[in-house]
Amino acid sequence: MVGDPQGEQSATVPCCRVCWGMTDRDTEFNWRVYAEATCAGLAVLIPFPFLDLFFELSFLGKMPRAVFAVRRVAVTEGQLAVLRRNDDKLFSARSCATVPVAAMLYVLKRISRKILYFLTIREATEKLSEHWHRAFLLDHIATRGFLTADPTAQVAKSALEATIKAADTSPLQHLARATIRRAGRVLRVLNRVRKRGPGPVIEAQEQRLEGAWEDLAGHFEALGAEFDRHFEAGLQR
């Protein structure tokens, strides 16, 4: 189990069939909630094919556990496994037959993007914004008590993916672009974060994002409401 059921928000909170008003804490920027998402987005800038993917997937895989730990909400390993992104399927046994072709296409795509660096910046901007939205929704799931039982984890996962797919991530892209421009030597920064936690570069990003996040409260409230609708629909199926 991860988290403390007696912590900030217990996992025993009733299901979202009761309407909850979002609080300031629900939409504020908390670096510990968004740390893995930020690093996953910055990983796209690593100039080496496969190494960029390794770092991105590594941080994304840690995201659910990190968010629930921050909020001190109890969650089972099975629930965490459901909430993780499905990018690990790239390395599944079923995909082995297509690995050579997929690998070649991936390398060609990455090399072209590294040569045309502005394409890499655009991709990193889009991914970082998407990862921030994913982190917000995981935080929403954790703090609002959506995982009251194991079966609801799959409903929450489906609602999360549906919300992300339909979401307009553009409101965060200017912040993502500014974050990327200030990242410096990305590989060194991410390797430090992965091993020892945030350093001065990341901490400076945190202070800047805290102020900007307040202006996006309405966007996040709408995102949370959209997730709630998908979750309720999933429960009724």
pLDDT at 18: 39
State the average pLDDT over residues 10-18. 39
* Residues sharing a CB contact under 8 Å with residue 45, sequence separation 6 or more, in sequence order: 52, 120, 121, 124, 180, 183, 186
What is the pLDDT of the chain when averaged over all its residues?
Answer: 78
User: Could you tell me the pTM of the whole model?
Assistant: 0.79
Q: What would the pLDDT profile of 36-75 be if each residue is shown by its tens digit? A: 998 899 888 887 878 888 889 999 999 999 999 999 999 9
How many other C-beta atoms are found inside a 10 Å radius of the C-beta of residue 179?
23
Count the Cβ atoms, other than its own, within 10 Å of residue 215. Answer: 10
b (16+ CB within 10 A) / e for 30-63: bbebbbbbbbbbbbbbbeebeebbebbbebbbbb
Cβ atoms 107, 49 nearer than 8 A: yes
More confident residue, 56 or 98: 56
Within 8 A by CB and 6+ apart from 22, the residues are: 220, 221, 224
